[in-house]
Every structure is written in structure tokens, then in C-alpha cells.
Structure 1
Amino acid sequence: MRKIKYKKGRKVQPTFLDYTGVHKNTKTEMQLFVYDTNDLTEFKEFTTAQLGKCISLDKVNWLNIHGLNDTNIIKSVGDFLQVDNFMLGDILNTTKRTKLDEYHDVLFFNIKSLLPVENSDNIAVEQISFLLKNGILVSFQEKRSDFFTHIRERIRTHSGIVRDKKADYLLYLLLDAVMENFYITIENEEDRVEELINLSKTSTSPQILEQIEKHRDNFNFLKRSIIPLRDSLYSIKSIKDDNVFNTIEHDNYSFFSRLHQKCLELLEQIEYDLTSLDSASNFYFSAQNQKMNQVMKTLTVVSVFFMPLTFIVGIYGMNFDNMPELHWQYGYFMVLGLMFLLLLGMIYYFKKKKWY
């Protein structure tokens, strides 16, 4: 699980831009889509020098950036959109929680994309940020991925209504695509939890409890990632009549309400899965207690079997002179026989009472 790290340099140099993520070797690349209902232009190898020439304000402009290592490119894009440095800092600082903000007609939105790591119980985290202003939508990804491949194809093939809508609808589609990763991650976690529940019924290995706690941490991390997203989407949903978010058209607020509803569904599912993990933990401890009880029961039965035999041996081990049984010719065999019969009698009685 990622932890927030304090960097003193940010306090000394508030305008200093530094990428804090883990994808340090990813080259910064850009791709631009300029489209409307009738026309589409795609720039696959876009540079900041083309910003003023290729951006068309009477159309929808989607600039997608992969890799955040080149802060000069990020700064140039920010200067073109007249974005304040604190927003650029939030884009580059991947430890920030999900945030929605509008400042000087620029809508800023960042979100955590979570996906399961193959052949591992860990979750891969990537921060994706968006800037929306005057029909221009800029998306920032830490690395190249296929989250938005289907959206690009819909734009190229004019499928659906994406080419008929403005940039705020495109933002909705991109957010929805990122949120699909939450469903994939939760489904993967649920498969692992189901395996753990079945395994806990047949094994009492301590590793099961470790795995249960690991997946509990994963679900809590998912919950921590979705809650601020839910709150951000609720702020759009709840103040749609106040004209606070000027970059979002009134007719498109309902789409963001759908995303808010998805967040509620995800959180409800996570709560259910956490309850399932609690049940798995309780079952594991119950199985451990049952196993311990069986061991204690066996030890108790064996101890009870030998208690009267030990008593008899203790009596004849006192070595008093006035003990007539010590001088009997067959006393030794008689005592052994008595002990054997007593043992058989106790076994029969315990068996009849079903005590073992």
C-alpha cells in the first residue's frame, strides 16, 4: 500500500515541479484528437510547439499525455491553458487523494486507477489527471496503457454520441473507463477471497490468516480510493443548479450522476466483501479453536485413563512394612490384572458416553 511521503523541498520551493511517481523511466509522449460531428484530425506524435497551431477552439480537443517525467512539457501545457502551478503540482504529485477543483474556468480532476498485479496479491496504482477548459480536455497518465483504447475507436469510427457532444462528455467517458478498473480489481479480489474461504474450511495454516489480512488491506485501500471520488462526483451532482462548474454543460450532469451511483455500488460491494473476510477470519479461528479443543479432549481422556492407574501405583510404592499385599505370591499379577480391568472398564464407559 502506498504511503504519503513528506517532501521538505516543496515547502521551500512552492513553484518547483517534480514527478513523485514510480514510473521514472517512462518517456513523455502526447497524442491529440481534434474533432466535431463532421471532422476528425488525429496527431499521434504531438509536441508542445504545435499547441497554438493545431488546437481548434470551435471543436473538441483531447490531448492525452503518457509519462510525467518531462516537467517542461507539463509546464508548457499548463502555460498554454493558463493553469496555476498548484494544479500542475497536484498532477505530478501522485500521493494526492482524488480531487475535484475549478479555478479560473479550469476544471481539475484526478483519479486513482487500480488494477490487480498478475500472479500477485498486490494492486497496481496509477494516478490519472484531467484538465478541462474551453473545449480542451487534457488527460495525464503516468504510463502508456489501454484504458482509453475503446474511446479512441469510438471517436475514429463515429460510434455513439461522443462526436456529437462536447469535451465535458468526453471527460465523463474517460472517468467511466477508469472506474471500470475498480470493477476488475474488486472481481479479482473476490475470486481470491472465495478461494481463501474454501481453503479456511480445510486447512488451519497460519498463511491463510496472513492472506486474509492482506486482502482486507486491499479492500480498505480500494475503499479509501473510491470515497473521495464519490464525494467529488457528489459535489457535481448536488450543485448542478448553482452554475458552479461552468465547464460542464447542464445536460451532461446526469452522466456524472451515473458515475456517482457507480461509486455507491462499488462501496456497497466492498463492504459486503469485507464482511465476507470477517466471516473467513471467524471461521479460521473457530477451526483453530476446534482443533485445539480436540487436542485437549484427547489429552484429557488419556490423562483420566492413567489417573487411577497412577493412584494404584502410588499406593504400592509407599513401601510400608505392614502391607500384606506385598508378601502375596501372586500379588503383582493380581494388581496388574486389576489395573488392566479398570482401564478396560473406563474405556467402555467413555465409549458408551461418547466422550471420545
Structure 2
Amino acid sequence: MRKIKYKKGRKVQPTLLEYTGVHKYTHTEVQLFVYDDNDLAEFHEFDIDEMQKHVNFAKTNWLNVHGLNENEVIKGIGDYLGVDNFMLSDILNTTKRTKLDEYHDTLFFNVKSLLPEEDSNNIKVEQISFLLKNGILVSFQEKRSDFFTHIRERMRTHSGIVRTKKADYLLYLLLDAIMENFYITIENEEDKVEELINLSKKDTNLSVLEQIEKHRDNFNFLKRSIIPLRDSLYSIKSIKDDNVFDAIESNNFTFFERLHQKCLELLEQIEYDMTTLESASNFFFSTQNHKMNEVMKTLTVVSVFFMPLTFIVGVYGMNFENMPELHWQYGYFIILGCMLLLLLGMIYYFKRRNWY
């Protein structure tokens, strides 16, 4: 079972800028995309000291950060945007759950991206954070990945409406790409569950039950990851109702409502899959009980075969003198023949009754 790890060090300074993830040796790289309907400019290996020079608030700006180890880079971006340290601390603290914060004119979104590990039943977890403020969107990833490659290509080829929209629509696209990973993970889990159901019908090895419990934990973990995302997306509705936060255009709230609907669909699918997994567990125990019943049936039949034979042997094993059969010349062979005929008769009778 996955547990939340308690970290003593964070109790002293809650706003301490300290990366707590596993990718501690990943070099921090920054990309900047500045675009509108007519133009697109890309800056790779971007130096944050040049933000004042290249960021154009008359256009849409997307600052994408790979790697969270260099605190001075994260701090420099926060200083440029005027973001409080507690938000930067949440970006670097990967133990935080998914959440949405609206603070003054800044929208902070923190989400977990999940993908299945190859050749394993484990799930990879990566925290991705977003800052949306004044026409600029900053995304923070723990490592380089291809989650957003198709969005970059759409920008370069001017496909769709991404170049005609603002940073809030870009935030929707990035969140939608992350949610696609949930679908991939659930589909991968479903394929393995289907294999387990087939295996549980014929294999009573305890390793099957261990795999079932492992996937049950995975589904619970998926559920625990999606529920706060669902709640955060629902909170965007309150931003719309308050009508005090203009970083999201009113006609773009419907896109975030679609993401909220996707979360509900994912949760419904997980509930269905967990029910299916329960069926696999029931199949396993049914198969195990059936096999045990077959063993007990075989042992019972064998015991019944030998019970009358044991009785006959016991009778002629008594030390009485007046047992005429003991003095017959062929008494031994007659009794053996009777025992054999009795055994064959019982086998025939049991076979006719389909008792074995």
C-alpha cells in the first residue's frame, strides 16, 4: 500500500525551497515559446536572466521547465512573476497532493502525471506544476518527457486554434495531455486484470492473489490521484462565478468543465475495474475451493474403497480358534478373491453413479 512519507526537515521551514523528488541529478532546462496567430518564436536552453528581453506580454508566453534541482532558476522565475515562496515550495515538494490555488492574480495548479512502468506492475509518478499569470504560463516538470510534444508541433505547424488562444487555453491543453496518461495507465491495468481473470480460473498459486492485490492498490492509487484533480477542476467553476480572476477568459471555462467531466468518467471506469478485479479474486478462491473439493472427493473415494477391505482383514486377524476358514486349504486365496471382487464391484458402482 502506498503511504505518505513524513519529512521532518519541512517542519522547520515550510517555505524552504527544497526539491523532494527522485530526479535529483536532472539538469534544469528552460524553454520559452512566444506566439500569437501570426508569429512563433522558440528559445531553447533559455536563460531566465533574459526574460525581460524576450517575454512579450502582447502575445502568449509559455515557459517550460525540465528539472527542478537548480533552486536559483525556480527562484528567479518566481521573482520575475512576483510569486510567493509558498507556491514555489509546493512546486518543489513532490509529496503534495493535487491542488489548485488562486492567489491575487496568479493561478497555481499542481497535478500528478501517472504512467505504467514497462515490464512491471508499478506506476510511475511525476509531479507537474503550472503558474498562470498575466498572459504567461509556466510549466514545471521533474524531468524531460514527451507529454507535450504534440502541443509543440501544433504550435509550429499552426494546427488547430492553439495559436489563436491565450495562455489559459494552453493550460487546458497541457492538463488534457496529462489526463491522457491516466487513460493509458487505466487501459494498461485493465489488460493485466483481464489476464489475471483468465489466470485465476485455472491457477491456484498464491502469486495470482498477490498480483490481484497489487492491481487493487494501483486502482486505489489512481483513484486517490484523480479525486483531488476532479475537485480542483470543479473549483475553477467558483473562479468563474466570482468573476474577479481574469487570467481565464469566460468563453474558455467550458474547456475546463470538459476536463472535470473526464475525471468523472475516469472515476466511474476505475470503480467498474475494481468490481472486475473483485471478480478475479472470487474466481481465484472459487477455483481454489473447487480444487480442494476435488482432492477431498478423491481421498474420500479411496478411503471408502479400503474400508470394507480393512474390515475383512481385521476380522481374519482376530485370534479365535473356531474360525473354519483359517483351516481351509484355499481359504487365503478365496478371501483375497472375495476382497478383489468386492473392490471391483465398488469401483463399478461408484463409476455408474459418477462419484469419481
TM range, smaller chain:
over 0.9
Aligned partner of 1:4 in structure 2 is 4
Do the aligned residues in 2 keep the contact of 1:74 with 1:88 (CA within 8 Å)? yes
Measured against aligned partners, the alpha-carbon deviations of 1:111-164 in whole angstroms (never above 9, x if no partner) come to 111111112111111000000011110000000011111111111222211111
Quote the Cα distance in structure 1 between the aligned partners of 2:51 and 2:90.
22
Quote the Cα distance in structure 2 between the aligned partners of 1:4 and 1:349.
64
Aligned partner of 2:283 in structure 1 is 283
Aligned partner of 1:235 in structure 2 is 235
- Once the 2 structures are TM-superposed, how far is the Cα of residue 96 of structure 1 from its aligned partner? 0.9
Do the aligned residues in 1 keep the contact of 2:17 with 2:71 (CA within 8 Å)? yes
Sequence identity of aligned pairs in percent? 81
Do the aligned residues in 2 keep the contact of 1:97 with 1:228 (CA within 8 Å)? yes
What are the residue-to-residue correspondences of 1:41-190 with 2, within 5 Å? 41-190=41-190
Do the aligned residues in 2 keep the contact of 1:33 with 1:63 (CA within 8 Å)? yes
Q: Return 5+ residue gaps in structure 2 as ranges.
A: none
Structure 1 pair 197/125, CA: closer, same or farther in 2 (3 Å)? Answer: same
Find out whether 1:299 has 2:304 as its counterpart: no
The total of aligned residue pairs comes to 356
Aligned partner of 1:13 in structure 2 is 13
3-state SS, counterpart of residue 180 of structure 2: helix
Do the aligned residues in 1 keep the contact of 2:2 with 2:221 (CA within 8 Å)? no
Structure 1 pair 244/219, CA: closer, same or farther in 2 (3 Å)? Answer: farther
Aligned partner of 2:270 in structure 1 is 270
Find out whether 1:193 has 2:193 as its counterpart: yes
Measured against aligned partners, the alpha-carbon deviations of 1:15-53 in whole angstroms (never above 9, x if no partner) come to 321101111111001000111222222111211211222
3-state SS, counterpart of residue 109 of structure 2: strand
Quote the Cα distance in structure 1 between the aligned partners of 2:55 and 2:2.
37
- Once the 2 structures are TM-superposed, how far is the Cα of residue 244 of structure 1 from its aligned partner? 5.3
Quote the Cα distance in structure 1 between the aligned partners of 2:4 and 2:213.
21
Quote the Cα distance in structure 2 between the aligned partners of 1:228 and 1:246.
24
Aligned partner of 1:338 in structure 2 is 338
What's the RMSD between the two structures over aligned residues? 1.5
Aligned partner of 2:256 in structure 1 is 256
Find out whether 1:23 has 2:23 as its counterpart: yes
3-state SS, counterpart of residue 241 of structure 2: coil
3-state SS, counterpart of residue 207 of structure 1: helix
3-state SS, counterpart of residue 241 of structure 1: helix
Do the aligned residues in 2 keep the contact of 1:3 with 1:95 (CA within 8 Å)? no
3-state SS, counterpart of residue 129 of structure 2: strand
State the TM-score, normalizing by the size of structure 1: 0.96
Quote the Cα distance in structure 1 between the aligned partners of 2:113 and 2:17.
22
Tell me which amino acid in the other structure corresponds to 1:287: T
Quote the Cα distance in structure 2 between the aligned partners of 1:238 and 1:106.
15
State the TM-score, normalizing by the size of structure 2: 0.96
Do the aligned residues in 2 keep the contact of 1:237 with 1:254 (CA within 8 Å)? no
- Once the 2 structures are TM-superposed, how far is the Cα of residue 320 of structure 1 from its aligned partner? 2.1
Quote the Cα distance in structure 2 between the aligned partners of 1:329 and 1:214.
71
Tell me which amino acid in the other structure corresponds to 2:241: D
- Once the 2 structures are TM-superposed, how far is the Cα of residue 283 of structure 1 from its aligned partner? 0.8
After the TM superposition, which of the residue ranges 1-10 and 14-23 deviates more from structure 2?
1-10
3-state SS, counterpart of residue 27 of structure 1: coil
